[in-house]
Structure 1
């Protein structure tokens, strides 16, 4: 399968008891395959790997594939320290990094690190994005004897994408973001198309280059699971632990894509038709055979 858009693969970082050997294996398969990116996100009050530590490992484990954080919540970090960590990651991977930023949907993540709930706003996100860019530009924001480094590999720093599902957030981010790191809970192509249109209009109104448009969704394959819908349900029960179980159970029957590779091909073609630059698949299990099967599909 060849498509104009690219297809990224997310590491199974939110799976129970995920270990370094399995993550290393996944990273190698993604790097060797026809994937447009290797992705992973952040949570604090959870048993997943630390995203910034993992960034260094993934940079060492891979040589080709672009790396995308989907997403980092900068309000959970000191912004100067975050700029240093991301610049280091960008240097380690030779400029293959793109950084998704979002406000985060879980109060408990803020509580886990003593972060200010009042900063959980788009204005707070924008302020921190500006700090990242200023540090990466070499400004001395701390009053120390020299600016905080190292400088990123990418001049001006890695691209910043806004992680969101909502049009209001997209419009607000047009002032600082280079594109959209979207997500669709139920593989809603029409809804994603509408959000892409909002992004295109918002960036054009500010006279900025056209935004990079990406989206993502959970998936499970009948080729690698006896019951792909049940696999998604199990994953959501674990991952969405901050939501009452009855709401997770109500979401699970329509969440993500559960089916065979032929059906996934059709879904990807629909996203290509609305102008997606990339679709990033989010696994709901840690079996590396999923990577191999999707790689075969992409050809």
Structure 2
């Protein structure tokens, strides 16, 4: 099973250090969150820079809020990054839940799920080289991966899990193993129902902080600020894994559920965590 690093969002200037250290370690993927009304870096721009500074790591959005973006431009951006990285882009997509993110883009939050489905039909068509339609031709470049970059969908509700089978290549779970197992099985059931070949790729995400007390405190504060809008920030922070044994246990638990990859998501800024986590995995 592969293990990736979810990058902290508090200071974009540190991310090159994180990426280079991860590229020299045992990790498979670099992941980056997406929000609009927040101080995080824009993920496609940031991951393009990080892809250029690394040689083998996949770069993954966790998750890109596709309904907030223009579909034709997103198709071109994703295909460009996929082509220029030799197929290292993994496009994790979701619908988002913040009112302010939707407010500033003028997107009706109530339609975000339907909009994502409509976007996927267009994205798949464009990535296959077909015309946009309505008198507009194809939008290139052609992605490195036939049919477009690998697409994972994040979410918790049945429509999100079904979307994996209809449009995606796999599922990105931000739930604990006790909850994720049921969602994995639901995704696999939808996959069979839609007659998809093979198996969906399963990727799990766990929140971690590894290091001295100040590193853990930094991570907890950043994580609390990020999740305040949910009303469940305290509960989210309580689930932060802060010891090697906890992290190893989570990786093992997800492996037992059939996960293909576990993303160790970091909120604390100390890049020495990359080396500490390398020792764990």
Give the TM-score normalised by the residue count of structure 1.
Answer: 0.88
Q: Which residue of 1 aligns with 2:121?
A: 130
SS at structure 1 position matched to 2:5: strand
Tell me how far 1:204 sits from its aligned partner: 1.1
Unaligned runs of 5+ in 1: none
For residues 19-65 of structure 1, what are the alpha-carbon distances to aligned partners after superposition, in whole Å with 9 as ceiling and x for unaligned? 32x11001111111111211112110001111121122122111101
Can you list the C-alpha shifts for 1:62-109, whole angstroms capped at 9, x where unaligned? 110111111111111110100000111111211111111111121211
Q: Decide whether the 8 Å contact of 2:44 with 2:61 is kept in 1.
A: no
Deviations along 1:167-204, one digit per CA (max 9) or x if unpaired, are 442024321111101102xxx21211111111111101
Q: Distance in 2 between matches of 1:107 and 1:44?
A: 11
Cα distance in 1, alignment partners of residues 249 and 78 from structure 2: 36
Q: Which residue of 2 aligns with 1:86?
A: 78
Say yes or no: does 1:219 pair with 2:219.
no
Aligned to 1:242: 229
What are the residue-to-residue correspondences of 1:16-31 with 2, within 5 Å? Answer: 18-20=11-13, 22-31=14-23
The answer to whether 1:255 aligns with 2:239 is yes
| Structure with higher helix content | 2
Give 1:203's aligned residue. Answer: 191
Q: 2:161 aligned to 165, 170, 174, which one?
A: 170
| Aligned residue number for residue 174 of structure 2 | 183
C-alpha displacement of 1:146: 4.2
Which has the larger displacement, 65-74 or 231-240? Answer: 231-240
Residue 288 of structure 1: aligned partner? 271
Aligned partner of residue 55 in structure 2, secondary structure: coil
Q: 2:220 aligns with which of 225, 233, 243?
A: 233
SS at match of 1:9: strand
Indicate the SS of the match to 1:139. coil
- How many residues of Structure 1 are paired with residues of Structure 2 in the alignment? 280
- For the aligned residue pairs, the C-alpha RMSD in angstroms reads 1.8
Matched, 1:152 2:143: yes
Q: Distance in 2 between matches of 1:167 and 1:243?
A: 20
Give the superposition deviation at 1:142.
5.2
Partner Cα distance (1:296, 1:144) in 2: 55
- CA drift at 1:143: 5.0
Work out the CA distance in 2 between the residues paired with 1:237 and 1:190. 22
**TM-score, L = length of structure 2:** 0.93
C-alpha contact 2:12 2:40 (8 A) present in aligned 1: no
Q: Give the 3 Å change call, closer, same or farther, for CA 119–168 of structure 1 in structure 2.
A: closer
Does the CA contact (< 8 Å) of 1:232 and 1:252 recur in 2?
Answer: no
Q: 4, 9, 12: which one pairs with 1:8?
A: 4
Tell me the CA shift for residue 218 of structure 1: 1.1
The offset of 1:144, in angstroms, is 6.1
